[in-house]
Amino acid sequence: MIRYHDEEWGEPAHDDRKLFEFLVLDAFQAGLSWRTILYRREAFRKAFAGFDARKVARFDQDRIAALMADEGIIRNGLKIKAAVINAQAFLAVQKEFGSFDRYIWQFTGGKTLQTRCRTTDDIRATSPESDAMSADLKKRGFKFVGSTICYAFMQAAGMINDHLVSCFRHRQVGRS
């Protein structure tokens, strides 16, 4: 958890595979702790073809059934099916915009939104930007992309800097 916080969380991500990984993992986090997901991250990576959206988009019922039996991941049928649907929608967005990165960063104007959170109580669960992202993703057929999940995605992908102002990472993240 410390390494993830210190080296990855909130670092601006522009690689489509990494963005797809966050999309999948944040959807699986719904109703669970991030710790639960993070500790299973390698199992998720293996189960979801290294987060290759092209491969995941082709998962059939047999592959979904195998994932339901995989004790290394969260075995939630709705979330597993959503990952496949989201991979298909992800590819459609890539085709339309040239990359998922170009599409998703439009919700923050292409920059990391800086917050001034002094305590964890100051950190919000949603924002106008995550509301807009959620609505647009849903229109495009994505599943498990409510505003709270989108906000968590934005935090992980460095679209919003919710490191506390007292944290050394707050000064580093999203600054050019």
For the annotated binding site for Zn(2+), the residues are 5, 163, 167
The binding site consists of 5, 163, 167
**CB 159 within 8 Å of CB 12:** yes
Q: How many C-beta neighbours within 10 Å does residue 98 have?
A: 10
CA distance 4 to 38: 9
58's CB contacts (< 8 A; 6+ apart) are none
Q: H or E stretch including 161? A: strand 160-161
